[in-house]
Amino acid sequence: MNSSYDSKLWGGRFRSKEDELMEKFQNGFKNTLWLLEPDLIGSIAHVSMLIKSNILKQNEGEKIIDGLNSILEDYKNSNLDLDGEYEDVHTFTELELIKRIGDLGKKVHTARSRNDQCNVDMKIFVKKEIKNVISLIDSFLLTLKNKAEENPHIMPGYTHLQRAQVVTFKHHLLAYYNMLKRDKKRLTTSLETISESPLGCGALAGTTHSIDRKFTAELLGFESVYDNFIDGISDRDFVIETMSNFSIIMMHLSRLAEELCLWTSSEFDFVKLDDKYTTGSSIMPQKKNPDAAELVRGRTGRVYGNLFTLLTVMKGLPLSYNKDMQEDKHSFYQSLTTTKECIEIMDKMIETLKANPKKMKKAVKKGFLNATEVADYLVKKNIPFRDAHSIVGQIVIYSEDKDKAIEDLSLDEFSKFSEVFEDDIYDYINYENLLKKGIKKEML
């Protein structure tokens, strides 16, 4: 008969070993070592509760906790031997504990299932990493704000990727600042969603032991426990919600990356990226490619894909636990690492970016970016806006035919379209002055 502690925590019921392919197919140990610390932290809290509830004797529980702490210390100091074939992190932790303190270690799993153990580990990890991502966003927000304040230069604003109205580079960057502020708020709100502890839910129906779920919840920094055991075991909403937040962050980063790609092209030449975040061509010596921005843009699809993967995994699962849910580990971890890397690299790109205000101002001169303000001028002269819109449309056609900017038309030319034009039109549609009028002052 196989010992259940040879390599599996469930081997006692089986007559034969797993097929080697099956063992490899379901193994998640090496790919989820990042769960080892949360697993040890959760186990220490669980044993502390077993002592409090008189399920373990004081001296037994303390010896188990000392063993768990010794594993944790060795892990943090990179002194832990992680070689060997283990089904998962939870199996490794228990077998390592038994190796260190003997058969007493077999009591660590009293009143607990791998189902609630696994889910609490994920919650501990996700909570910690949300805070880390928020910290990265805070750094990026500061960079965006500082770079914006340094660059109040006028530039074309775009709709449909066509020059539309004059804005400032500062105002443009602050649009991304506001996007990232919303991203931070979403993540902060998600921390509230992850406030329930699943420990004590057991496999799906709790336990007959008189445990104190609220005690472990408090020890682990949760505000409450799941009201429903089945929900506590089958819940992956917190993973999906966080991955959804990551996807929105990546969407914002990708939009900025796309603009960096445009702005650094010869056609725009609005900004220059530091050499540290660009690469060249193996054949064209003149090239300086915005590779970091392109990689951020490309890796956004990876994060989207992981979210869709987990949504697809969960959509047809009956309650409560199914092995399919193991897919949450790979999907989440890849999205997490990708999102963190992209925030950091984008932060560094923006911090070292150099604006080209001369090119931006030159681009403003083409595209009739003061046409809307000409219409506003006419409205102030008591012409209905719809009529003013039509008049300015004709002025634009005329200017195109004459290859002139609107501000370069003479007063006689303006008067061909309306008698209300006076010399003050030139001051009114001057690009620097435009930003000082009305609510536009907020862009300065």
Tens-place pLDDT, residues 28-47: 788 999 999 999 999 999 99
φ and ψ at residue 81, rounded to 5 degrees: -80, 110
Domains and CATH numbers, the chain: 17-110 (1.10.275.10), 115-362 (1.20.200.10), 368-443 (1.10.40.30)
Q: What is the pLDDT of residue 85?
A: 83
The whole-number average pLDDT for the span 92-112 is: 97
Q: Is the pLDDT reported for residue 71 higher than 50?
A: yes
Active site residue 160: yes
Contact indicator for 307, 335 with CB cutoff of 8 Å: yes
pLDDT confidence band for 3 (50 / 70 / 90): very low
Residue tagged active-site, from 160, 210, 266, 410? 160
Global pTM reads 0.91
Token readout for 294 is 């392109």
Whole-number Å distance between alpha carbons of 354 and 272: 5
pLDDT tens-digit series, residues 342-360: 999 999 999 999 999 999 9
Active site residue 153: no
Tally of CB atoms within 10 A around 368: 19
Q: Is the pLDDT reported for residue 373 higher than 60?
A: yes
Whole-number Å distance between alpha carbons of 216 and 74: 24
Q: What is the pLDDT of residue 430?
A: 93
Contact indicator for 306, 250 with CB cutoff of 8 Å: no
pLDDT confidence band for 301 (50 / 70 / 90): very high
Whole-number Å distance between alpha carbons of 317 and 325: 9
Residue tagged active-site, from 224, 265, 281, 415? 281
Alpha carbons within 13 angstroms on the beta-carbon side of residue 29 total 17
Q: What is the pLDDT of residue 8?
A: 61
Tally of CB atoms within 10 A around 296: 25
Q: What is the pLDDT of residue 25?
A: 66
Contact indicator for 243, 304 with CB cutoff of 8 Å: no
The whole-number average pLDDT for the span 332-350 is: 98
Q: What is the pLDDT of residue 22?
A: 65
